[in-house]
């Protein structure tokens, strides 16, 4: 794609995100995006028909980048013949989420804006599906693709999976707000610790 096209589309997308920092997406009009992007109406409509197309383009590019980062990290995942210990889980997050966390930090402003109250619930769903797919893929790598869920355990597995995926997303989203105080390694370490400790344990530890 021509670099000028990429730059113009990025400018339009940033214009939308600037609007979303001020008010909900539903209250934004194409003319608002045009003004924030400092482009002409003709330029805007050459690339997009409306604000929804801009939003979809922005989200899809982020999700695509996230998938690429997760795939890069996946190369370090190794198969285990035993139940992973807490230390192994934490180490896995420290070593095999580098590209993913780095991607989230670089795109922090965009991610937090899209996940904010002014953002799009559909983006959260896209992030969830992407993360769930990655977790399932890693489970097969760690425990073997030949392994099957025990009979009558599908319900419990699905509950555990949803809690696990939501926990990862929530913790990373929260920590992104403090990335200027935490190193990428510290963020990965904290995510790992959260995944192996129950909320009850964390709360209890604060009062000892």
* 51-97 pLDDT, tens digit each: 999 999 999 999 999 999 999 999 999 888 888 899 999 999 999 99
Q: What is this structure's pTM?
A: 0.90
| pLDDT at residue 153, as a whole number | 64
Domain boundaries, the chain: 1-49, 59-206
Of 140, 142, 184, 194, residue with least CA distance to 164: 194
Half-sphere exposure of 42 (CA within 13 A, CB side): 0
Phi, psi of 76 (to 5 degrees): -90, -5
Residues of the chain with pLDDT under 50: none
| pLDDT at residue 144, as a whole number | 81
| pLDDT at residue 205, as a whole number | 76
| pLDDT at residue 81, as a whole number | 83
| pLDDT at residue 204, as a whole number | 73
| pLDDT at residue 200, as a whole number | 79
Write b or e for each residue in 98-136: b if 16 or more Cβ atoms lie within 10 A of its Cβ, otherwise e: bbbbbbbbebeebbebbbeebbbeebeebbeebbbebee
Fold of 1-49: Arc Repressor Mutant, subunit A (1.10.10)
Taking a C-beta distance cutoff of 8 angstroms, is the pair 20, 37 a contact? no
Half-sphere exposure of 148 (CA within 13 A, CB side): 3
| pLDDT at residue 202, as a whole number | 73
| pLDDT at residue 151, as a whole number | 55
Residue 7, token pair as written in the block = 């730059």
């Amino acid at each position: 794609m021509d670099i000028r096209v990429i730059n113009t589309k990025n400018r339009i997308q940033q214009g939308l995100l600037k609007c979303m920092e001020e008010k909900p997406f539903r209250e934004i009009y194409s003319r608002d995006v045009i003004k924030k992007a400092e482009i002409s109406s003709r330029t805007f409509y050459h690339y997009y028909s409306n604000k929804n197309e801009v939003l979809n383009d922005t989200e899809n590019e982020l999700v695509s980048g996230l998938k690429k980062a997760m795939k890069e990290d996946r190369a370090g995942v190794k198969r285990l013949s035993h139940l992973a210990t807490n230390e192994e889980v934490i180490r896995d997050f420290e070593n095999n989420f580098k590209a993913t966390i780095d991607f989230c930090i670089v795109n922090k402003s965009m991610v937090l804006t899209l996940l904010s109250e002014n953002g799009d619930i559909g983006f959260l769903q896209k992030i969830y599906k992407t993360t769930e797919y990655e977790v399932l893929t890693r489970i097969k790598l760690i425990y073997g693709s030949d392994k099957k869920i025990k009979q009558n355990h599908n319900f419990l597995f699905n509950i555990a999976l949803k809690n696990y995926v939501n926990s990862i997303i929530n913790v990373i989203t929260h920590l992104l707000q403090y990335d200027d105080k935490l190193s990428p390694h510290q963020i990965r370490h904290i995510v790992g610790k959260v995944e192996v400790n129950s909320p009850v344990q964390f709360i209890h530890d604060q009062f000892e």
